Amino acid sequence: MTSSETGLFELPQTYRDLQSQARDLAVSMRDIAARADESSGTDPDVRKRLAASGLTELAVPAQWGGKFDTVDSLAVTIVREQLAAESAHLDSMFVMQGIGSYGLAVAGSDAVRDRWLPKVASLDAMAALGLTEPHVGSDLKALTTTVVTDGDELVVNGHKSFITNGGDADFYSILAKEGEGYSLVLVPADTPGVSTHRPHQIIAPHVLSDVVMENVRVPADHRIGAAGKGFGLVLATLAAFRVSVAGASVGMAEAALRLALAHANDRQQFGTSLSRLGSVPEHLASCWTNIESARSLTYRAAAASARDPRANLHLSSMAKVSATEMCGRVVDRCVQIMGRFGITRDTAIERLYRESRPMRIYEGSTEVIFDSLAKQLIKNGL
């Protein structure tokens, strides 16, 4: 290997510094992580510490207070890997700043971007993306929320469901049907006609609500991008952030393995440590191998996404499926290694067990992603 190739598969120093910064923040949350991860509302202490870290500057381009010229998928991914290892609440709060504002950063009007994006970067405003509806999940073209033009205003009507940051967000990027197309519209949370309620909660508690809009009026410049072109902005958002779900999953799996390894080394059974007994060593080694394999694909996909998100969405999708499925298997195996201590309520491993399950569903379920990948493969080949 030549000197120019040294470190070919290592993160550049800029990303290692972010990784270290994120790890320090995540560890500092240990005193409140359990409380925050059981909350249905934004934990104020988590928000304060995350804001102080400056990491939410990764959510927006440098022009509005961000760290990079454009949102960097690799940076977001390696940060999520560290945050998710300690707190799902922290991880979600971090990434939703980008997911909720990405369309605005790409295609919003200058006035609206100048108003909101600096606040997103500093976490003075929380962002949310409104896609799903009570009867609409993966089939977004079936959505019923509408937007129509009335003079110099847009009028939005509809019901969004299972919206992350719902109820606590300062604005929503809402996908709505407009004529024969679909548009993305920024709706400030305090706009008359906007209401939220929380009829649902998931197995790993989450800041989640329904968002109802009844004759909500916003200025015409709150349409993000061109009329009828909202799906392209949603796809761009997925292209930039889907791979970061893989990063979070790798972080969760590694955290579970650390807990299982510590338990197996400390617990004595039949005259030896559990880590040397029966199939446990094989399980530990298998988990480690699975994690490193998923991390390799995740970093490759995230680096490719940082260069060109849309062109490398297939890699991001593969990484998302690979890492989330791996995380489910690894965390389950770690629970098995820990026996009764793995299924005890209010423990770190029990939280990880619940938090790992939704990862295989949101931002594209495994089945939906495989269907999309298969179509691309059959059409274009390798």
Q: Helix crossing, 230-266 with 73-84: angle to 10°?
A: 40
pLDDT higher than threshold 80 for residue 204: yes
Tell me the average pLDDT of the chain: 95
SS3 of 108-147: the string is CCHHHHHHHHHHHHHCCCCEEEECCECCECCCHHHCCCEE
Domain co-membership, 259 together with 364: yes
* Nearest residue to 207 via CA among 374, 47, 69: 47
Domain co-membership, 247 together with 376: yes
Domain co-membership, 165 together with 149: yes
Domain co-membership, 274 together with 364: yes
pLDDT higher than threshold 60 for residue 4: no
Beta bridge partners of 184: 175, 224
Domain co-membership, 190 together with 280: no
| Residue where a domain terminates, one of 228, 247, 269 | 228
Beta bridge partners of 173: 129, 186
Domain co-membership, 355 together with 268: yes
Domain co-membership, 207 together with 287: no
Is 2 part of any domain?
Answer: no
Strands (E), 220-258: 223-224
Is 8 part of any domain?
Answer: no
Domain co-membership, 244 together with 265: yes
Is 111 part of any domain?
Answer: yes
| pTM value surpassing 0.75 | yes
Domain co-membership, 118 together with 146: no
Is 175 part of any domain?
Answer: yes
**pLDDT computed for residue 141 by the predictor:** 86
Task: Give the mean model confidence (pLDDT) for residues 271-276.
Answer: 90
The model's pLDDT over 155-172, given as tens digits with 9 standing for 90+, comes to 999 999 999 999 999 999
Confidence of residue 5 (pLDDT cuts 50, 70, 90): low
| Residue where a domain terminates, one of 125, 149, 177 | 125
Is 4 part of any domain?
Answer: no
Q: How many CA atoms lie within 13 A of 118 on its CB side?
A: 7
Domain co-membership, 70 together with 84: yes
pLDDT higher than threshold 80 for residue 3: no
* Paired tokens of 210: 């329904």
The model's pLDDT over 210-262, given as tens digits with 9 standing for 90+, comes to 999 999 999 999 999 999 999 999 999 999 999 999 999 999 999 999 999 99
Q: Please state, in angstroms and rounded to a whole number, the distance separating the CA atoms of residues 95 and 118.
A: 16
- The CATH number of whichever domain residue 180 belongs to comes to 2.40.110.10
Task: Give the mean model confidence (pLDDT) for residues 181-210.
Answer: 96
Residue pair 333/257 in contact (Cβ under 8 Å)? The answer is: no
Is 222 part of any domain?
Answer: yes
Is 1 part of any domain?
Answer: no
Residue-number span of the structural domain to which 376 is assigned: 232-380
Distance of alpha carbon 315 from its chain centroid, rounded?
A: 17
Q: Specify the amino acid at residue 16.
A: R
The model's pLDDT over 76-133, given as tens digits with 9 standing for 90+, comes to 999 999 999 999 999 999 999 999 999 999 999 999 999 999 999 999 999 999 999 9
| Residue where a domain terminates, one of 202, 228, 254 | 228
Beta bridge partners of 172: 128, 187
Q: Specify the amino acid at residue 59.
A: A
- The CATH number of whichever domain residue 332 belongs to comes to 1.20.140.10
Residues 6+ apart with CB under 8 A from 310: 235, 236, 239
Q: Please state, in angstroms and rounded to a whole number, the distance separating the CA atoms of residues 354 and 350.
A: 6
- The CATH number of whichever domain residue 26 belongs to comes to 1.10.540.10
Domain co-membership, 210 together with 241: no
The model's pLDDT over 309-318, given as tens digits with 9 standing for 90+, comes to 999 999 999 9
Task: Give the mean model confidence (pLDDT) for residues 26-49.
Answer: 97
Is 172 part of any domain?
Answer: yes
Q: Please state, in angstroms and rounded to a whole number, the distance separating the CA atoms of residues 53 and 165.
A: 20
Domain count, the chain: 3
Q: Please state, in angstroms and rounded to a whole number, the distance separating the CA atoms of residues 94 and 110.
A: 24
Domain co-membership, 223 together with 241: no
